[in-house]
Amino acid sequence: MTHKKTLHIEIRALWFATSILSSLWFLYWIFYDVYVWNKELTQVRLQNYVGLIIFIALAILGTQLEKTGISEKLSLI
C-alpha cells in the first residue's frame, strides 16, 4: 500500500512539473514576442496563448482530481 501511495505522489509531481514547465515555455514565447519583437499582446501568436491556457488548466485539473479521489482510482488500474 505504501508503494502505491509513493507512486501516486510521484505521478502527481510529474504532472505538476510538466504542466508548470510547459506553461513557462509558452509564457516565455509570449514575453519574447512582446519584448524582443516589440509586438502588442494582441499580435502575439495565438498558439502561445492556447498552449498557456491548456497547461494551466491541466495543472488545475490535477488538483481537482486529487480532491475528488479520481486520481487514486486511476492509479489502481
Residues in the chain, pLDDT under 50? 1
pLDDT tens per residue, range 8-29: 778 888 989 999 999 999 999 9
Q: What is the pLDDT of residue 36?
A: 96
Specify whether the CB–CB gap between 15 and 65 falls below 8 A: no
Q: What is the pLDDT of residue 65?
A: 76
Q: What is the pLDDT of residue 64?
A: 83
C-alpha cell at 1: 500500500
Q: How far apart are CA 47 and CA 50, in angstroms?
A: 5
Q: At what angle do helices 46-68 and 2-35 cross, to 10 degrees?
A: 160
Q: Where are the domains of the chain?
A: 2-76
